[in-house]
Structures are given as C-alpha cells and as structure tokens.
Amino acid sequence: MAALDFVELTPHQKKRPPELSGGLIRRLNIACGIVHEPELIFMDEPTVAIDPQSRNTILENIRELNRRGATIIYTSHYMEEVEMLCDRVAIVDEGRIIAEGTQDELKDQVMTLETARIKVDPLTPGLLERLESLERVKKVEYEEPFLDVSLEKDTPLAPLLDVLHDERIRFTSITVDRPSLNTVFLALTGKTLRE
C-alpha cells in the first residue's frame, strides 16, 4: 500500500507543513509507518482527538491492511472501534489482561439476559402478566409501541410469540439485544470512576 492511499498533500500544504490539521498529520504518520507494507503493525489509539472524516479514513485503511494480510495489534478506549475492527480482544485493567477471546466469548462471560424488543399493536388487558409468567422471562415492560422482554440467555422466542398470536396481537419487528463491548468492559472492570 502506498503512502498516498492515506493522504495526498496539496501544493500549499507541502510548502507549509506546520499548518497541517491534526487528522492529516495522524494519517501522514500512519502512511509513513506502513509504506514498506509490514506484516505486523502496532497501533496505539490512532484515532484519538481527530475529526470524524479522518477517523473514518484511518479505520477503513486499517481494515484494508488487514484484508491484505497484515496482523494489527490495535489499542483503543473506543469500544465501538474495537467491535468494528478486531477478531480477538484482550481487556486490560490496571496493566494486566483480565479477559480475552473473541467478541462473542467475552460477551458470553457477562451476559445472563437478553432483551427482545417487539414492535406491537396495542396490548390486550392481562397480556403483560401472561408474558411474565412464561418460563425464563425475567421482566416485561411496555411503552407503546414497544414491548421489551428480558429473557435468560438463549431462551427461544417461540413461547413468547405464541402468546402474542393467541391474543391476536400483531407485531411488525423483533430485535434481540446483546451486550456491547462497552458493556463487557464495564462489567469486568467496574463502573466506578478511577484515577
């Protein structure tokens, strides 16, 4: 990959490098580091304090480097970037690795509940109590038009949908939320602010 895949300086910028933006300087630094196409690349928070356009360019180029066969060790406090880029994750707390694995393996370590969100027509009286009585259902909440059902992990949705069908409640969408890596990080390291 050529350095110009990351950044192309205008003639004005070539003459006056002190006026380069932070994002452009960061992209230029990355381009210089990978111009010789290394097989192993260490990146320590490459998107800190840069504009969204530069961030997107850097992230896309990191994905392209990986597609071309480079192994990338990527450190970040931005869990959404980790979810987007990383096959395997290590969570470091106070200088030591406290958990590692694939994203799904880490999520399984902390996840005991899943939330099914169902967009429904108005509910019939008594339906919430009927849903709460189902096996493995922990909590049911309704705020029109959404029915949120907290279930034990890996609970089949069929009994829940059978109740809606029996009560002739039409639904138009179902999503099941799993925890994010941010949720995993907070669950494993604690939620209190530390120095």
Q: Give the pLDDT confidence of 27-52 residue by residue, as tens digits.
A: 888 888 888 889 999 999 999 988 89
pLDDT at 41: 94
d(CA 188, CA 181): 10
Task: Identify the H or E element spanning 81.
Answer: helix 79-85
d(CA 100, CA 82): 13
Domains and CATH numbers, the chain: 3-86 (3.40.50.300), 112-179 (3.30.70.100)
Q: Give the pLDDT confidence of 59-102 residue by residue, as tens digits.
A: 999 999 999 999 999 999 999 999 999 999 999 998 999 999 99
Q: Show Cβ contacts of residue 14 under 8 Å, excluding neighbours closer than 6 positions.
A: none
d(CA 195, CA 185): 16
Q: Give the pLDDT confidence of 141-185 residue by residue, as tens digits.
A: 999 999 999 998 888 999 999 999 999 999 999 998 877 888 888
Residue in the block written with tokens 């939320």: 177
* Structure confidence at residue 3 as a pLDDT band (50, 70, 90): very low
